[in-house]
Structure 1
Amino acid sequence: MAPQNSAVRPEADLDLADQLGHELVRFMRLITKAKSQVAKHGPDGIERAAYAILFCLVHEGPQRTSKLAESLHSEISTISRQSSSLVQHGLVERQADPEDGRACLLAPTAEGLRVFDENRKHRARWLAEVLGDWSQEERETLNELLARLNTGIEKNNPSLSDTAGTAQAKGASNA
């Protein structure tokens, strides 16, 4: 089925999308609350936010600070401060960039990989508890649909110009 222009979507589609939006906002609030109930700093003294850097490095490989800032939608100064903490704690190391010897790449160390794996296992245990009364089929379906939703969001990243165009189209159709 070919994607439709958002200005001509049936009202039922928009109602379902609005319900999904509500549940996603609720989900984000609950995740934020759960994260805030965990100490701001981990047991090793590292800011919890710095683990996002480690996550990117483990999953996407060594990167420059600027690419990490772009990936994490953060300021380079914030990424620099957090990555310095990760380096001081031995979780990340600086390596020469093979494409430009003047620049450096950040990469996880063996200890960084161990700490990442420990955090991943902790998250998996928590999620298994949350989904403990779901059937295997429901959990598999959730994973499939969430992956599909994430892919759709990645492919259809909204921009201000898209929003303005949609609003203009709606205004024209209501006139």
Structure 2
Amino acid sequence: MADQAQDLAVAEELGHQLIRLLTMVGRAKAQFSQATGDGIERAAYALLAHLVKEGPKRITALADAVHSDTSTVSRQTSSLVAHGLVERKADPVDGRACLLVATEEGRGTFDRARAERTRHIASVLAEWPAGERRTLVMLLDRLNTDFENYHPVGEPR
């Protein structure tokens, strides 16, 4: 029983630290939106990133990949299309369907945003020993994977 209490105490502290992290991420998102001033939602940049890194996708596949609903992804990709960052192309396998494809401008926008994010993260971690930085990346990858694969009892997968 003591082990379970300790596990819950650690989970409680992790929850607190995740809330702190999400608050800081929220602040960074707001700063990012102010800095770009292009009227594109930050969430839409995540879709652009996925299309740049993973290649063309149907809207349903993109929604599944980012764990979102199709209507939200449709609205956000419409904004990306309107800004010339993404284009719709006929699916070569099924001409009735369309694929979302990052444009050259979209890839450039993604590359600039990624470089800026990377510089900020590097600055935050500049005083950390290299081994701790690698450990952080490894543990965050593991935590993200476990969250992605976690399905509470009774919830659909």
Tell whether the structures are fold-level matches, with TM greater than 0.5: yes
Instruction: Compute the displacement of 1:152 (Å).
Output: 1.8
Q: Hey, what's the Cα distance between the residues in 2 that align with 1:150 and 1:86?
A: 26
Alignment of 1:85-164 (within 5 A): 85-155=79-149, 157-159=150-152, 161=154
Letter in 2 for 1:83: T
Deviation at 1:82, TM superposition (A): 2.0
Query: Structure 1 length as normaliser, TM-score?
Result: 0.77
Q: TM-score, normalised by structure 2?
A: 0.85
SS in 2 for 1:102: coil
Contact 1:40 1:47 in 2 (8 A): no
Q: CA deviation at 1:49?
A: 2.3
CA deviation after TM superposition for structure 1 residue 142, in Å: 0.7
- Which has the larger Rg? 1
Q: Which residue of 1 is the match for residue 43 of structure 2?
A: 49
Q: How many residues align?
A: 155
The worse-fitting range, judged by mean Cα deviation, of 32-41 and 13-22 is 32-41
Distance in 2 (alpha carbons) for counterparts of 1:136 and 1:16: 25
Match of 1:15 among 2, 9, 31: 9
Percent identity of equivalent pairs? 51
Aligned in 2, Cα 1:99/1:40: closer, same or farther, shift over 3 Å?
A: farther
RMSD (CA atoms): 2.4
Cα offset for 1:40? 5.5
1:150 Cα deviation from its structure 2 partner: 1.4
Retained in 2: the 8 A contact 1:93–1:108?
yes
Contact 1:42 1:48 in 2 (8 A): no
Q: Structure 1 runs of 4+ off > 4 angstroms?
A: none
Note the C-alpha offset of 1:35. 1.0
Which residue matches 2:60? 66
Q: CA deviation at 1:41?
A: 7.9
Secondary structure at the counterpart of residue 96 of structure 2: strand
> The residue matched to 1:161 in structure 2 has which SS?
coil
Unpaired runs of at least 5, structure 1: 1-6, 163-175
8 A contact 1:69–1:75 mirrored in 2: yes
Q: Partner amino acid for 1:126?
A: H
In structure 2, what is the Cα distance between the partners aligned to 1:75 and 1:42?
26
> Does 34-43 or 45-54 show the bigger shift?
34-43
